Amino acid sequence: MILSIDQGTTGTTVTLVDQTGRVWAKVNEEYPQIYPQPSWVEHDPEAIWRSVLSCIKRALAQAQAQGAKEASIAAIGITNQRETVVLWERETGRPVANAIVWQCRRTADFCDTLKKKKLGPTLAKKTGLVIDPYFSASKLRWLLKNVSGAEKRARSGQLAAGTIDSFLIWRLSGGMVHRTDVTNASRTQLMNIHSGQWDSDLLKIFSVPSSILPEISPSNGVLAVTKNVPGLPDGIPISGVAGDQQAALFGQTCFKPGQAKCTFGTGSFILLNTGSQAPKSKKGILTTVAWQLAQDKKMTYALEGGAFICGAAVQWLRDELGFIKESREVEELAGQVADSGGVEFVPALAGLGAPYWDPHARGLITGLTRGSNRAHIARATLEAMALQNVEILLAMQSESKTKLRTLRVDGGAVNNNLLMQIQADYLGVEIERPQMVETTALGAAYLAGLGVGFWADKGELTKIWQVDRSFKVKMRAAERKRRLESWRLAVARTLFPSRVRF
């Protein structure tokens, strides 16, 4: 079997998959979120590592209880929250500070200075990304500048840095290997997506020494082998690595240009396969590396857009407003009304991502009347999750000159049938939900399996992917247009405080 580690924003999931795609074990463990200040988000890397070890142990036990043989792991795949960055000691492997999470906005002011220097076009040309606190480079710069002695220690070779995949590879290999894959590297804003290498101009802009960064590798092939990992024998190849959204695209078997997927997680993330072309966006859509397979060495690219708050909006209704006790209850609550009754919720609780890219925007609920109740706000939340995605996908289709026929979806929130129907209606495109909605983990497993010959080629993988349910469009085009116009008016109100100064 393939052991797939999905290291996510709120927890770690370990899955064991056999050659037919059967899941023998799936174990999840959450870990604490750390909020030192408003809009700051951190993780304890040691807590992440403990969750990985715990999930591996429990998954192996679960598989053995199902009749799997002991130590039957052919390879390990890793997928991870992408832009989150860690800085650690080479000698001990200990982090020198908490990891700064992709959601963290602490570097917004520094990013504003880069915009004032008109560096946006340079960064877009080299990285396919916009200037935003979302990406790793400004976070890594912050760590080097603000952790006592870090900058000096980094330049003397004492420290190593990387995204979560690099940290896990380091730990799983017993500190022997410092590597990342090309998809994760493409999200740091330090790699040139055309050359696939760290870029000296970018390193200079962000004051990051190249010596602390990992070696960039393809997304599969043997990147490292296990050493001294509790519960695992030495020598298991780590042969598949990809950032979570690229792994989901691969797990959805969107291997052809024009195929797209949307992951409904903490945020929502959409990728559209563009093949060997790396389109330049004029509408705030990102160009990113989808994957690079060791077998053909070619770079496959994708257009990407994401909303920072998607499933997290439902968690906010649950944890902060107390509307529901469990996230799954939102479907029943929202289903109590036929529509939102004019209520609009723009969940800019951590700024706005594509296509607006405003880190200073904040959430807004508007259109309230005396008749508005919890169900209307819950319905507006589901509609907002879908409408964010509509704006991104419309821009993608325009820039790629591609007409989307279907959208494949994954992530925990896709079990919400009402949300999926809303998404189909507002997008005007059929939605396909696979039998295994945790396609992020599946993508990492697929990459790892291809890396060691567990599967011969991508053709074998397309036979494994199966549709669970399709959601067909029921809304008329005129109503769809009216609904999107109302949404855009609400979004404009969230931008107002950040664009106007009194």
Q: What is the pLDDT of residues 237-264, one digit of tens each?
A: 999 999 999 999 999 999 998 899 999 9
- Rg of the Cα trace of the chain? 22
Query: For residue 141, what are its two tokens?
Result: 């710069």
- Say if CB 123 and CB 137 are below 8 A apart: no
The HSE-up count of residue 345 (CA atoms within 13 Å, CB side) is 25
Peptide bond into 434 cis (omega under 30): no
Measured in whole angstroms, the distance separating CA 106 from the mean position of its chain's CA atoms is 19
pLDDT, the chain, mean: 92
Detail the DSSP E strand segments found in 203-252. 215-217, 220-225, 237-243
Query: For residue 236, what are its two tokens?
Result: 């298991």
Q: Is 302 left (phi over 0), alpha (psi -120 to 50) or beta?
A: beta
H-type alpha helices, 218-320: 244-251, 311-319
pTM equals: 0.87
Contacts of 90 (CB under 8 A, 6+ apart): 157, 158, 159, 160, 175
Which candidate, 414, 407, 455, places its Cα nearest to that of 435? 414
Q: What is the pLDDT of residues 383-419, one digit of tens each?
A: 999 999 999 999 998 888 888 888 999 988 899 999 9
Query: For residue 74, what are its two tokens?
Result: 């052919």
Residues composing the chain: 502
Q: What is the pLDDT of residues 39-92, one digit of tens each?
A: 899 999 999 999 999 999 999 999 888 887 765 899 999 999 999 999 999 999
- Over residues 487-496, the mean pLDDT reads 86
Which candidate, 450, 465, 379, 391, places its Cα nearest to that of 426? 391
Q: Is 26 left (phi over 0), alpha (psi -120 to 50) or beta?
A: beta
**DSSP secondary-structure letter at 427?**
H
The arrangement of strands across the sheet holding 99-100 comes to 42-43, 99-100, 85-89, 159-163
pLDDT of residue 496: 56
Rounded to an integer, what distance in angstroms lies between the CA atom of residue 403 and that of residue 398? 8
pLDDT of residue 70: 64
- Say if CB 393 and CB 355 are below 8 A apart: no
Longest dimension (CA), the chain: 68
For residue 21, pLDDT beyond 70: yes
